[in-house]
Amino acid sequence: MARPEHDHTAHRDPVCGMTVDPAKSPHQAAHAGQTFHFCGAGCRAKFIADPDKYLSPHGPPPAAAEGALCTCPMHPEVRQVGPGACPICGMALEPVVITAASGADPELVDMRRRFWIGLALALPVLVLDMGGGLIPLGARANHWLQFALAAPVVIAAGWPLLQRGWSSFASRRLNMFSLIALGVSVALIDSAFALVAPGLFPAAFREADGSVPVYFEAAATITVLVLFGQVLELRARAATSGAIRALLDLAPRTAIRMRDKGADETVGLDQVQVGDRLRVRPGEAVPVDGRVLNGRSEIDESLVTGESMPTARGPGDAVIGGTVNGGGSFVMQAEKVGSDTLVARIVRLVAEAQRSRAPIQRLADRVAAGFTPAVIGVAALAAIVWALAGPQPRLAYALSVAVSVLIIACPCALGLATPMAIMVGVGRGARAGVLIKNAEAVERFEHVDTLVVDKTGTLTEGRPAVTIVKAATGLGADELLRLAASLERDSEHPLGAAIVRAAADRGIALSEPSDFAAAIGLGVSGLVDGRRVAIGSAGLMATQGVATETLADDAEAMRREGASAVFAAVDGRLAGLFAVADPIRPSTREAVRALRADGVRLVMLSGDNRTTAVAIAAELAIGQVQAEVRPQDKAEVVARLRREGRIVAMAGDGVNDAPALAAADIGVAMGSGADVAIETAQVTLLNGDLGALVRARRLSRAVMRNVRQNLGFAFAYNILGVPIAAGALYPVSGILLSPQIAAAAMALSSVSVITNALRLRAVKL
């Protein structure tokens, strides 16, 4: 088999850091025309012809393993089979392809278990350290008990943190885990030496009984806090895969295929081929994209189009897989199956948009790349200076100073600065009806300058309602509504349901209809109190021999206002007209005014007809509107605005909005909308109130102000604390910071950050 040439001499194995040289690689294999180059260190990584991907040497072929590939959200070039940690930044990897069968995130399950175990063991350590005098144990027994509890926290529960930290040193890619692993390890090892061999330490650092202070509580506490941060981060990231699973669940699992001869057969969706004839029964989901061959029905396409009105479909009309059939039955021909269906394409759009979106960029991680080697350098330099020029015993002083520097510089406060503020801020937002899923959304929301908003279900209620009842001469409006609602009570059509709700709102008692008949796509007819009543379109009136010219102008005016015109006939004569529209939410106008006043540019998108969309936009004074757009069109509008340098938020509620929600800087979903829209968006307005967007921006500003305060304090603390711990004040004042005081200072910095973050609970929105 021919093997394509590919130069890997410039690439390093992302697992161990060794150079991957095709000429020296001990293992090579070919599959499907690709050359695999294995790392000489025997790692499980191997590069394919595409150097940005690597697979297990003993794993399945690339095509079969694609679903098991995992990647780093911050470094998408890193890929491997199965879960793990990114060799560059240490973050947990996530699957490249989400399937409907994907279960719970194993990394999240593992981190949550480690956190609870670590917390259960760390709390007694804190009690022993802080309340040692109240517990009837000697100092040495107390310290041994602390060691027995803290060692499992650091080594067992915190093993992934240690592993990532030490791997960062091996690969020479220092990150936040580098300092965490170094600080925790040094605190534990130093305390163990203090417990086992206190004679190695200078007399100045000993207690009255000759023991040396230990820092087991610092090591255990740091480990548990970092594990807690990992759980929060993984929970936020797990929501992105939920969006794709929600999309995949739209499609049915089976289809009814018609045989050329004999009875129908039920087959799995993966067995359906282009050209197959499929039967769709009432209430079933359309299995794949295709075209109606015979039969008629009204199909609820709201899950895909976001529009509340069902659409009549007959011979020759296209139908979309995942939409829900109404009361009719029809036979369709499959035209697009598998990955070619609209739902599958939306899945790809969502997945691609999520991977292309910039991940959370925590300032602590960016600074750690330079901060970590600087701290290590300071600790090493201080140890050398004290070993050469310090008082006796010089080696003990050098060790103590190095430990103090590493403990006080452990980035606990730096790591807590952002997640604590985010956690409290998210809780405050939830009480205000704003659900924010990750820190990136909070950080970006204050910078949003463009809001792209879907019409149906976002600006409007998403449920049709009667806005006008116009009765013809000789019949009152209430009587017309009573007759129409009595007939429509047997109908499941949204327009009929709107008429029934209108009668209920007016307290009108309804009669029982008889001889009910529904003309799909036209309307309904029947007898009410002995009178022949027909409700529907002008087409239905024509079939009943009822002239509609006298109300034609009124019907057109209703359409220009964005409403559907529904005619009513009684006993063969035109009796009146109903305007049924999707009303604008009561809070929308004020929200739009507030957003414009805040400098936000608004763009309205809709899959509805242009007349209706323009009418709604004009009523709300939204200058830019695009109508009759497809799902991929919405995502492209968002992408174009971002290319123009805009910070874009997209607000929507339908499945058709999911790609655009994922492509935007911030996706905002209505709480009453489709599950996939809620899963895809970073922000959900729980009560569907667009006015909550204004509160979300205020919350974003308050949280980010708090984060900047926390980070400023954490940086100032390290800038001042590290030199003092290194002994900068000793020559002039004789003050030398012991590791115990360094640990207390580190804990105090964390408490200060947490206390400042808790102030967000009372912020006014």
Q: Looking at the annotation, which residues are catalytic? A: 454
* Residue 429 Cα to chain centre, angstroms: 16
Closest CA to 62 of 75, 79, 74: 79
Residues 115-135: b if buried by 16+ CB within 10 A, e if exposed:
bebbbebbebbbebbeeeeee
Which helix or strand (DSSP H or E) is residue 95 part of?
A: strand 94-95
Neighbours of 260 (CB within 10 A): 5
Residue 755: phi, psi to the nearest 5? -60, -40
CA 401 – CA 728 distance, rounded (Å): 11
For residue 545, give both structure tokens. 């021999």
Contact, 398 vs 387, CB < 8 A? yes
List % helix, strand, coil for the chain (3-state, nearest 5). 50, 20, 30
Neighbours of 511 (CB within 10 A): 16
Neighbours of 280 (CB within 10 A): 27
Three-class secondary structure of residue 267 per DSSP:
strand
CA 685 – CA 696 distance, rounded (Å): 9
Burial classification of residue 370, based on how many CB atoms lie within 10 Å of its CB (0-12 exposed, 13-18 middle, 19 or more buried): exposed
Neighbours of 210 (CB within 10 A): 11
Phi-psi region of 102 (alpha: psi -120 to 50; beta: other; left: phi over 0): beta
CA 712 – CA 95 distance, rounded (Å): 35
DSSP 291: E
CA 141 – CA 124 distance, rounded (Å): 14
Neighbours of 385 (CB within 10 A): 16
Q: Tell me, letter by letter, the H, E, C secondary structure of 16-71.
A: CCCECCCCCCCCEEEECCEEEEECCCCCCCEECCCCCCECCCCCCCHHHHHHHEEE
The residues pairing with 158 across neighbouring beta strands, listed in sequence order, are none
Residue 600: phi, psi to the nearest 5? -90, 130
Contact, 118 vs 263, CB < 8 A? no
CA 485 – CA 507 distance, rounded (Å): 12
Contact, 586 vs 459, CB < 8 A? no
Contact, 484 vs 499, CB < 8 A? yes
Helix residue ranges per DSSP H, 131-263: 139-151, 159-171, 176-196, 216-248
Please provide the distance, in angstroms rounded to a whole number, between the alpha carbons at the two ends of the chain. 66
For residue 530, give both structure tokens. 């002995």
Contact, 762 vs 431, CB < 8 A? no
Position of tokens 């050098």?
Answer: 398
Helix residue ranges per DSSP H, 197-283: 216-248
CA 165 – CA 162 distance, rounded (Å): 5
Closest CA to 51 of 90, 9, 81: 9
